Chain A
Amino acid sequence: MRGHAHLVSAYVPGSSWLHRAPLALKFGLLVAAGVAVLALPGPRPRAVVLAAVVMVHLAAGLPARRLVAPLRSMWLFLLVVLGYRWWVDSLPAALGVAAGLLACIYAANLLTSTTEVQRLLDGLVAAVTPLRRFGADPERFALTIGLMLRSIPFLLGSLHDVRDAARARGLGTSPRAIVQPVLIGAVAYARQTGDALAARGLGEKAMD
C-alpha cells in the first residue's frame, strides 16, 4: 500500500550527544543559525555558518547522505533562486542566498533527525501552554501537528496511486483525471480520520 514512509521518518534513532541534548538547546541552535544567516549577509560569513552546521551534523554521527537528500528534492528551487539573484544582483550575493538557505534547512534537519515526533509535540505543548489563558488547548495543538505529519505521506501516496490508475486507463497526465480523484480521496481520508479521532475521544475538550 501507500509507502511514502521515508518522508515521515525524519528521525534517525541514536544516542549521540545531540540526541541527548535538551530540546530547548537544539531549538535555540536552530534559531541561532537562522539569526546568524539573517544578520550576516554576504557569501563568506554564510559559508561559515553553513560549514558550522554541517560540522555539527557530522559530529553528531548523522549519515552524510542526509545532507544530500534536501539537495535532491530542492535542486530546481535552489537553481531558480540562484539564477534569479545572480541576474538581479551578483554571483557572490546569489551564492550567499543559497548558502543561507541550505544552512537553515540543514539546521532544521538536525532538530528533526535527533528528536522524536512525540518529543517535539511535548515541546510544542510546553511552549504554547502559556497561551492557555487565552483559550488555547495545547494538546489539540500538538494533535493537529501530528495529524499533519501523518497526512502528508498519505496524500503523496494517493497522488501516486491516482497517477498510476490514470496511466493504466490511458489518460496519461491529464490534470483533470488526477486532481479530481486526489481531492475526493483527500476529503474521504479527512472524514475517516475524523471518525477515528472521534471514536478514540481524541481532540475532545480536556475534561480532567
Chain B
Amino acid sequence: MIRFRSVRVLGDRAGETPAAPILSVPELELTEDRISVIGANGSGKSTLLKLINGLVVPDEGAVDVDGLGTASDGAAVRRRVAFVFTDPLSQLVMPTPLEDAELSLRRKYRKRTERRAAALSLLEDFGLAHLADQSIYQLSGGERQLAALASVLAVDPAVLVLDEPSTLLDLRNTMLLRRRLAALPQQLVTATHDLELAQDSVRTLVVDQGRIVYDGEPAAAVSFYRELSAHVAGSG
C-alpha cells in the first residue's frame, strides 16, 4: 500500500521563494490495483509519481510503500516499485534489450548462463525474443517501450509506476502496451494524457496546479478533467 501523509514538495528556484508548492498532498492512500493520474502539463503529475519510488523526496511530510519510508529506506522502496519513463531510450541503459534485461538480473543471478537464460525467457514473454541482440537504436518506439517494461519487471516489483508510457507511441503500439499492462499482476499507477488509457483503471486522480482536485471513478474523473481544461482554455 502506498501512503502519503501531509506531503509538500517545494520548488527549488534559486533565490526567489516560489509562491506555491509544486505539489501538496495532505492525505492519500493508494490501495487499488489500477490507478491513473491525469492533469495538464506541469500540474505535478510526474512529481506525484516520483514521490512513490523516492526519486523525489518530500520537503515536508512522508511517503511510504508497504510501511517503508521513501526517504529512510529509498533503496528498499525502489526494489519494490519499478518506474517506466516516457522515453524508453533514456531508460534502456545498455546497448541491446538482452543486455539491458541481463543488467536488471545481475543481482539475482550471479552465473552468466543462468542470467542469460532468464533474460531470454523474459524477452520471450514480451514477444521480443527475435530482437534480443538488436541495437536499441534500431527498435521501433513500441518495441523500445516493451523492452524497457521487460527490464524493469525483471526484478519482480510489487508496484509499477508509469509516467506517460504511451506518449511516444502510435495507436497500434499503444493498444499493444495496454493489453500487456492489463495482464500484469502488479499494482499499476499510470500518469497519462491518453484519456482512454486513463480509463483502464478503477480509480483516477486529477491533478491541477499542484493539488489533487478530483479523486474517484475514472469516467467521472475524465469528464471533470475535460470541463476543467475547457474552462481554463476558455478563460485564457
Q: Is B99 an interface residue, CB under 8 A from the partner?
A: yes
- For residue B103, which residues in chain A have a CB less than 8 angstroms away from its CB? 143, 146, 202
Residue contact B137 to A2, C-beta cutoff 8 Å: yes
Residue contact B79 to A201, C-beta cutoff 8 Å: yes
Q: Is A91 an interface residue, CB under 8 A from the partner?
A: no
Q: Is B138 an interface residue, CB under 8 A from the partner?
A: yes
Q: Is A70 an interface residue, CB under 8 A from the partner?
A: no
Inter-chain CA distance A153–B92, complex, in Å, is: 13
Q: Is A56 an interface residue, CB under 8 A from the partner?
A: no
Binds A, one of B18-26, B81-89, B120-128, B198-206: B81-89
Residue contact B99 to A117, C-beta cutoff 8 Å: yes
If over half of A's interface residues share one DSSP class (helix, strand or loop), that class is named, otherwise mixed; here it is: helix
Chain B residues bordering chain A, tally (CB within 8 A): 31
- For residue B104, which residues in chain A have a CB less than 8 angstroms away from its CB? 200, 202
Chain A residues bordering chain B, tally (CB within 8 A): 36
Residue contact B75 to A207, C-beta cutoff 8 Å: yes
Q: Is A68 an interface residue, CB under 8 A from the partner?
A: no
Residue contact A4 to B137, C-beta cutoff 8 Å: yes
Residue contact B137 to A200, C-beta cutoff 8 Å: no
Inter-chain CA distance A195–B82, complex, in Å, is: 12
- For residue B112, which residues in chain A have a CB less than 8 angstroms away from its CB? 118-119, 122
Q: Is A131 an interface residue, CB under 8 A from the partner?
A: no
Pairs A-B, 7 closest by C-beta atoms: A5-B135, A199-B83, A192-B90, A8-B95, A201-B78, A5-B137, A196-B91
